[in-house]
Amino acid sequence: MVKRKKVYETLPKKKRFSKKKISIGILGFIVVLGLAVTLFVNGYINKSLPTTEGTVELSILEKEVTVITDEDGVPHIQADNARDLYIAQGYIQADRRMFQMELSRRQASGTLSEVVGEDAVNQDKYFRTLGLRRAAEESYEVYADESIEVLEAFADGVNAYMEEAKESNSLPIEFTLMDFEPEEWTPVDSLTIGKFMAFDLGGHWEQQAFNYYLLNKYDAEKAYELFPAYPENRPTIIQEDELDIAASFENAVIPHPFNGSNNWVVSGDKTASGMPLLADDPHLGLATPSIWLQMHLESHDGLNVGGVIFAGVPGIILGHNDQIAWGVTNTGPDVQQLYIEKRNPDNPNEFLYEDEWEEAVMIEEPIKVKDAETIAYEVTETRHGPIVSEFAEDTGAETVLSLRWTALDPSTELEAIMEMNRAADWEEFEEGLEKFLVPAQNFVFASNDGTIAFKANGKIPVYEDGKDALLPLNGWEAENEWQDFIPFDELPSVVNPEKGFIATANNKVDPDDYPYHISNVWAQPYRYERIAEVLESGDDFTIEEMQDLQMDQTDLRAREFVPLFQDVLADEALTEQEQDAVQLLADWDFVMDKDAPQPLIFERWMREIQNHIYRQEIPGTMRGLFSTQSQATENLLRTAFHGEDSIWIEENGGLEEVLANSLKTTVEKLTEEHGEDMSAWTWGDYHQVQFNHPLSGISPFLAFFFNREDALPVGGSGVTPMAASYHSETGEVDHGASWRFVIDTNDMHAGYHIVGPGQDGHFKSEWYQNQMSDWVEGNYHETRLDETSGLELTLTPEE
């Protein structure tokens, strides 16, 4: 057999190639190519970094504007006039957050499918049905000329950035990855984002739907046990089984059950400086970039205001100027009402009202879908509002649910913000509040004249004749219409109370003798009770102590229930591990410390109690509408602890069996997940914060770039002042203090802030996720309104 020689062996020796030389050559080529690609990609990505130095020409400006970015990434914008100021604010916001602004307006408008594809269709249908953008368009028509000029100037600034970025091919990399470019920004886009925040904080229609389900599914007494407020007038079932609630709302977008906050003001009688202190930390979704952008706006006409604003909106919504400071929590009033509508079997576009058929408004909302055909979609609006129980498709059912909601009416929040930004005292500030209609918020206020004040502000409907928003109402009866709204001058309000402080934490704010109904659903009282406990205990409070209180991890729910659990199980036959778990809880100080095992045991135990009670009877789709699940469970436990009958507890074997079985499951699962050594378990092994970028879930590759920092163990819980709610399956902290702010009115120019995870939306910016550890540890940065240093950018008219 002839042995074949390799090709290179047949060449003369001087022309033979060495394998080693070939390998080195290929490797070198790959290295050079990789380096070139890296440099090209890096250069391309760097082009979209925020501009913080130099000069940028903007022909739309009248005069030069200075933007100084301080060491924490906060832009301080100084302009000669209001128009230039808001042009610059629009430009700077877009430069730092254009992709976030684009997603926000698309989500609120129901146009995500255009850039995401079919996965977003159901979500788009839902937001098209609600009609946030339609409501924003109607609101624009009632704004005063001065406010429209602000909106237009801001939009001009955003569009100036977009035009420049498109010409220089320097849009954020996310646009390249998703293969689209943003379209022109309009004033209605800003108002639509505002309406979306009303959606996020707006009401509790899902609880009405769940209550309706309960009364259809169970006998009245069993159903009432899970109502958020036990009804005195005992509402009755309206009709049997004509609505499949679970199917109707399967694709509904449900906001976090308690998008709440903490805020408080302390009078000078109880502070070390002798002047009021104010603290505010709004609790919203935690992601990258932050929902807030901190800015400082200053113009020569007397405006000097700093704080935070939603990306895509002009002004400062929360913060302070050089005379006053303010903060908010969500009031959580019943501003959403479901109506049961009877459809004409002979004409699906007509609905019964006072024995006559009324024509509904049919709105064409075609949905463009990336890489697919446009979907012909139609929204039906009755006299009460859009039909929401069949947004996914027209079922043809003769009974449907419509939604009446204050946020779908025209409203003027931007005008309120403009007036609040310039207010000099409580009287001027309250005057501005009259224009802040949705969402209804608990405003706290402090000023350098020593005033502290509170007002539960917004458009809150009046429920008459015992109707109190527990159930859907008959839409065909005129007596069920909202009659009016609580008069502005009669909204709950307090000025300079004798006790020396005012605090709110989404708790019940109206006194028992208040003549109007506000809400059936208040947050659990634990955060408020802990804040009040601390504020009642001292008289010389400082900025640092207010910061410590915002970071306080004491869990009063655990303080209430752990001793009760121990008493009930004292005579139960527990395994050694279960006994160890109970003993650990007995030795606990009820602080949700990330390095302690007790928070992990207690939180899992509470979750397993809920699962034990509800899992077999309430399907998962309905539990998604059960927004008051925690409160209902706690009420059931209290009822049983006090020796009273609870149907849900008794049907699950009684209190001892519920607690013992759920403890058993808790210990078994935690042992499987964290090992046999219970003392080595820590809350932070499970309870961690990441601040995920919206594109990071697509692939590990994108997660590597967009989630620059590793997840961090963190303390607290959903009911501690340091709010840190988490996804029950993963432990990821995804809801909490989106911004922390403290100010001593003795120095109105100095505010102390944490904006988690950072200021910028560009993943290569030094201010992208630089405040993640600050958020976990409570490290605040000072921002001043009178002294500013940092990187200087000049925006100048074209010469």
Q: What is the pLDDT of residues 629-644, one digit of tens each?
A: 999 999 999 999 999 9
Q: Name the band, by pLDDT with cuts 50, 70 and 90, for residue 396.
A: low
Q: What is the pLDDT of residues 594-621, one digit of tens each?
A: 999 999 999 999 999 999 999 999 998 8
Q: What is the pLDDT of residues 110-155, one digit of tens each?
A: 999 999 999 999 999 999 999 999 999 999 999 999 999 999 999 9
CA-to-CA distance for 614 and 632, rounded, in angstroms?
11
Q: Assess whether pLDDT exceeds 60 at residue 550.
A: yes
- pLDDT in the model for residue 798: 79
Q: What is the pLDDT of residues 252-299, one digit of tens each?
A: 676 666 557 999 999 999 999 999 999 999 999 999 999 999 999 999
The dihedrals phi and psi of 461, each to the nearest 5 degrees, come to -70, 150
Cα 564 to the center of its chain, rounded Å: 33
427: which residues sit within 8 A by CB, 6+ positions away?
none
Q: What is the average per-residue pLDDT within 491-509? A: 97
Percent of the chain with pLDDT over 70: 89
Q: What is the average per-residue pLDDT within 183-210? A: 91
Local structure of residue 788 (DSSP, 8 states): -
Maximal CA-CA distance, the chain = 109
Query: Helix axis angle, 145-167 relative to 187-201, nearest 10°?
Result: 110
CA-to-CA distance for 254 and 248, rounded, in angstroms?
13
CA-to-CA distance for 607 and 666, rounded, in angstroms?
9
Q: What is the pLDDT of residues 202-257, one digit of tens each?
A: 667 889 999 999 999 999 999 999 998 755 554 544 444 455 655 566 666 766 66
- Conformational region of residue 564, where left means phi above 0, alpha means psi within -120 to 50, and beta covers everything else: alpha
Q: Let me know: does 25 contact 31? Beta carbons within 8 Å.
A: no
Q: Where are the beta strands (DSSP E) in 145-291?
A: 261-266, 277-285
What predicted TM-score, i.e. pTM, was given to this entire model? 0.93
* End-to-end CA gap in the chain: 86
CA-to-CA distance for 786 and 491, rounded, in angstroms?
36
User: CA 748, 749, 755, 761 torsion: positive or negative?
Assistant: positive
Nearest alpha carbon to residue 363 among 347, 343, 345, 377: 377
**Hey, is 180 helix, strand or coil?**
coil
Q: What is the pLDDT of residues 425-481, one digit of tens each?
A: 999 999 999 999 999 999 999 999 999 999 999 999 998 766 778 999 999 999 999
User: How many degrees, rounded to 5, is the angle at CA 160 between CA 159 and CA 164?
Assistant: 115
Nearest alpha carbon to residue 76 among 242, 375, 304: 304
As a whole number, the mean pLDDT across the chain is 91
Q: Let me know: does 557 contact 720? Beta carbons within 8 Å.
A: no
CA-to-CA distance for 6 and 10, rounded, in angstroms?
7
Nearest alpha carbon to residue 400 among 510, 485, 475, 469: 475
Percent of the chain with pLDDT over 90: 83
Nearest alpha carbon to residue 526 among 606, 467, 610, 435: 606
Q: Enter the tokens of residue 60.
A: 């739309």
Tokens 């432990």 sit on residue: 731
CA-to-CA distance for 104 and 123, rounded, in angstroms?
13
Nearest alpha carbon to residue 402 among 137, 215, 131: 131
Q: Let me know: does 386 contact 130? Beta carbons within 8 Å.
A: yes
CA-to-CA distance for 337 and 357, rounded, in angstroms?
21
Is 261 among the residues known to form the active site?
yes
The dihedrals phi and psi of 218, each to the nearest 5 degrees, come to -125, 165
Bridge partners, 67 (sequence order):
77, 793
Complete DSSP assignment for 26-75: HHHHHHHHHHHHHHHHHHHHHTTSPP-SEEEE-TT-SS-EEEEE-TTS-E
Nearest alpha carbon to residue 509 among 498, 495, 493: 493
Complete DSSP assignment for 630-642: HHHHHHHHHHHHT
Q: Assess whether pLDDT exceeds 50 at residue 6.
A: no
- pLDDT in the model for residue 69: 98
Q: Let me know: does 278 contact 742? Beta carbons within 8 Å.
A: yes
The dihedrals phi and psi of 359, each to the nearest 5 degrees, come to -75, 130
Q: What is the average per-residue pLDDT within 47-69? A: 97
- pLDDT in the model for residue 51: 97
User: How many degrees, rounded to 5, is the angle at CA 432 between CA 426 and CA 435?
Assistant: 145
User: How many degrees, rounded to 5, is the angle at CA 345 between CA 342 and CA 351?
Assistant: 35
Q: Let me know: does 744 contact 543? Beta carbons within 8 Å.
A: yes
Q: What is the pLDDT of residues 646-695, one digit of tens each?
A: 999 999 999 999 999 999 999 999 999 999 999 999 999 999 999 999 99
Q: What is the pLDDT of residues 703-746, one digit of tens each?
A: 998 998 899 999 999 999 999 999 988 999 999 999 999 999 99
Helix (H) or strand (E) holding 96: helix 82-109
Q: Enter the tokens of residue 655.
A: 């209190």
CA-to-CA distance for 292 and 285, rounded, in angstroms?
11
- Cα–Cα distances (Å) from 690 to 256, 695, 710, 719, in that order, read 18, 14, 7, 20
CA-to-CA distance for 8 and 17, rounded, in angstroms?
7
The dihedrals phi and psi of 232, each to the nearest 5 degrees, come to -70, -40
Cα 274 to the center of its chain, rounded Å: 35
Q: Let me know: does 492 contact 456? Beta carbons within 8 Å.
A: yes
Domains in the chain, ordered, with CATH? 62-203+255-554+741-798 (3.60.20.10), 556-688 (1.10.1400.10)
Which is the catalytic residue, given 104, 261, 627, 696?
A: 261
**Hey, is 219 helix, strand or coil?**
coil
Q: Let me know: does 77 contact 93? Beta carbons within 8 Å.
A: no
CA-to-CA distance for 464 and 337, rounded, in angstroms?
13
User: CA 160, 166, 172, 176 torsion: positive or negative?
Assistant: positive
Omega within 30 of 0 (cis) for the link into 282? no
Q: What is the pLDDT of residues 747-757, one digit of tens each?
A: 999 999 999 99
CA-to-CA distance for 332 and 508, rounded, in angstroms?
9
| Residue 593 annotated in ligand binding | no
